[in-house]
Amino acid sequence: MRGAAMRKVLFVAGAMLVIAAAAIGGGIAYFLSRSDEVELVTEAPPLPSPQATVAGGGSSTTSPAVGAEVLHFVLVSEQSEASYIAREKLAFLPATSEAVGKTNAITGDIYLTRKGLSPSPPSVIRVDLRTLRSDEARRDNFVRNNTLNTDQYPFAEFRIEGIEGFPTSYQEGEEVAVRLVGTMTIRGTSRPLVFDARARYGGGTLTGVAHTAFKLTDFGLSPPNIAGFVTVEDEIRLQIILVARLQ
């Protein structure tokens, strides 16, 4: 009887070790399969041809009307994208890796004059945080439910309050470097933030790519920590790719 009981204990213990090893091995394989560095987009998206713009149902306007004081651009969601890049680490490995979440659920309005940002109406970019997706559903669920609390705070908003480096003269299609100065609001907390951006305009279309970085704790957010097994660094990076049409 004692021998049978001992064999049963050893069998159960062995099975538990196999399950634990498989889980850890799977975690290691998942972690090591991730790329160490994420390549960011460094140039504003190319402008569509006038024929493509008209065929796609967009505005056929090739340039702002002479004398127009305020130019209203509306983001095209299906051609725009918001991304976060977060550095995460498994507890038992020395190296870190970058996780990326993306969404095309980005909307907004940008109001410009020939001298820069129009003071009114407000220029606001809004991202639906509920739609952020990475390559791991468990991460997405944790970020939505625990970090961002998207049931209560579904959107992040960036209100543009100034554009530094706005060109005094411009050749259509030329790419320019600017800084977007404004206020970011995440989960009910607002903080000043600056994006470094590159943009171009032509044929009634404005395109751009913008980058920034900030600490989650600056917005009252706790960096994700899944039972100490997976931890995320406090600082994250944001990338916004936008395509907007002149109305």
Q: What is the DSSP string of 5-72?
A: HHHHHHHHHHHHHHHHHHHHHHHHHHHHTS-SSPPPP-SPPPPPPHHHHHHTT-----SPPTT-S-EE
| Per-residue 3-state assignment (H helix, E strand, C coil) for 97-124 | EEEEEEECCEEEEEEEECCEECCCCCEE
pLDDT band of residue 94 (cuts 50, 70, 90) is: confident
What is the per-residue pLDDT for 112?
97
Give the CA distances from residue 219 to residues 42, 185, 186, 191, 240, in Å, rounded to whole numbers and listed in that order: 27, 8, 7, 7, 19
pLDDT band of residue 39 (cuts 50, 70, 90) is: confident
| % residues pLDDT > 90 (the chain) | 67
For the ranges 15-24, 86-95, 169-178, the maximum mean pLDDT occurs at 169-178
pLDDT band of residue 73 (cuts 50, 70, 90) is: very high
**The pLDDT of residue 49 is above 90:** no
What is the per-residue pLDDT for 16?
40
**The pLDDT of residue 18 is above 50:** no
Please tell me which residue, 93 or 2, carries the higher pLDDT value.
93
Question: Which of 60, 69, 75 has the alpha carbon at shortest distance from 204?
Answer: 60
pLDDT tens digit sequence for 20-31: 334 444 444 444
pLDDT tens digit sequence for 95-143: 888 999 999 999 999 999 999 999 999 999 999 999 999 999 999 999 9
Give the CA distances from residue 89 to residues 102, 213, 229, in Å, rounded to whole numbers and listed in that order: 20, 19, 8
What mean pLDDT value characterizes the chain? 83
What is the per-residue pLDDT for 88?
92
pLDDT tens digit sequence for 191-228: 999 999 999 999 999 999 999 999 999 999 999 988 88
The sign of the CA dihedral 70, 71, 76, 79 is negative
pLDDT band of residue 51 (cuts 50, 70, 90) is: low
What is the per-residue pLDDT for 37?
65
What letter represents residue 166's amino acid?
Answer: F
What is the per-residue pLDDT for 95?
83
State how far the Cα of 18 lies from the Cα of 174, in Å rounded to an integer: 60
State how far the Cα of 69 lies from the Cα of 126, in Å rounded to an integer: 25
State how far the Cα of 51 lies from the Cα of 60, in Å rounded to an integer: 8
What is the per-residue pLDDT for 57?
44
What is the per-residue pLDDT for 237?
97
Please tell me which residue, 49 or 42, carries the higher pLDDT value.
42
Compute the CA torsion angle 50, 52, 55, 61 (nearest 10 deg): -30
What are the contacts of 103-106 at 24+ separation with CB within 8 A? 103/127, 103/128, 103/129, 103/131, 103/132, 103/133, 104/77, 104/78, 104/80, 104/131, 105/77, 105/130, 105/131, 106/75, 106/77, 106/80, 106/81, 106/82, 106/240, 106/242
Q: How many CB atoms lie within 10 A of CB 16?
A: 10
What is the per-residue pLDDT for 157?
98
What is the per-residue pLDDT for 1?
52
What is the per-residue pLDDT for 11?
43
Torsion-angle region of residue 195: left (phi > 0), alpha (psi -120 to 50) or beta?
beta
